[in-house]
Copies of this chain bind each other. A is one copy, B any other.
């Protein structure tokens, strides 16, 4: 029978490439770990490590390592969630939000909320819009912030704010120096990085440029690092491009009127409906610009 502890043991040993290192990390003796590993390999009927020194994984070992890592993260999350739920008899709000909103009015709203309700516990998770919707449907979150306006069963949806798309480029990039706002054609004549957010723009020109892009960057920090080199440019919603370092410039784009709407999703089956209502009012009234 495979147990969480076996996976944790394997995972740690795989990570450090040594029983000893892993054993101090886990607070067990090397022999205990060795036996756990032996048991796991026995159960699977295959080796997980190439050599007896545990510093090289077999292909199967790599596969199991990947699976185990993700299971462990997930399990630890579960435990935290359960413990949060238990330690919050006075109120708990589970928030799921897209990363860009986490950088806006959300922290202020949470802080105000916690002042007013000293016993309130808050659980906050970043994810993309589709996962926010899923999380609320599955009861993993009570309230969510996502882009687009979704109509889901048992979920209320209000628009929070709208967001214009624009160009992100380095301050030394040619597009930063043109006086009038650049057009899409101007932009696509330079090396263009695609990202998850610009695919929300329903324009064929953007879609084909995204597909033709040689680089797709999935996370904002990388995007900023890449842009800083002045070699690439990208298109983003404005709220994502806040608090930029000096070497970066965000500019409107000539001919783009489409905006991204960001909405508040409210579960109708939350455990603390009153708190949720207070909180949602705070969010709706907050300054999101």
Q: Which A positions have Cβ atoms within 8 angstroms of B?
A: 2-4, 7, 44-46, 59-60, 63-64, 66-68, 70-71, 74-75, 78-79, 81-83, 85-87, 89, 130, 138-139, 149, 151-153, 194, 202, 210-211, 213, 216, 218, 271
Contacts and interface: CB of A to CB of B under 8 A. Distances in A.
Contacts of A86: 44-46, 60, 64
Chain A contact residues, majority secondary structure: helix
Contacts of A82: 2, 44, 64, 67-68
Indicate the member of A2, A82, A83, A87 with the most B CB atoms within 10 Å.
A82
Contacts of A68: 78, 82
Contacts of A59: 271
Contact of A211 (B2, B4, B149, B271): B149
A79 B7 CA distance: 10
B153 A216 contact: yes
19 contacts: A2-B79, A2-B82, A3-B3, A44-B83, A45-B86, A45-B87, A46-B86, A60-B86, A63-B85, A63-B139, A64-B86, A67-B78, A68-B78, A71-B74, A71-B78, A151-B194, A151-B216, A152-B216, A153-B216
Given A45-B86, A46-B89, A71 B64 contact: no
A159 to B, nearest CB: 11
A132 to B, nearest CB: 12
A86 B64 CA distance: 9
Given A151-B194, A216-B153, A138 B70 contact: yes
A104 to B, nearest CB: 24
Contacts of A81: 67
Nearest to A88: B60
Nearest to A269: B62
Ranked nearest first, the 6 interchain pairs of A and B with the lowest CB-CB distance are: A44-B86, A71-B78, A63-B85, A46-B86, A2-B79, A130-B130
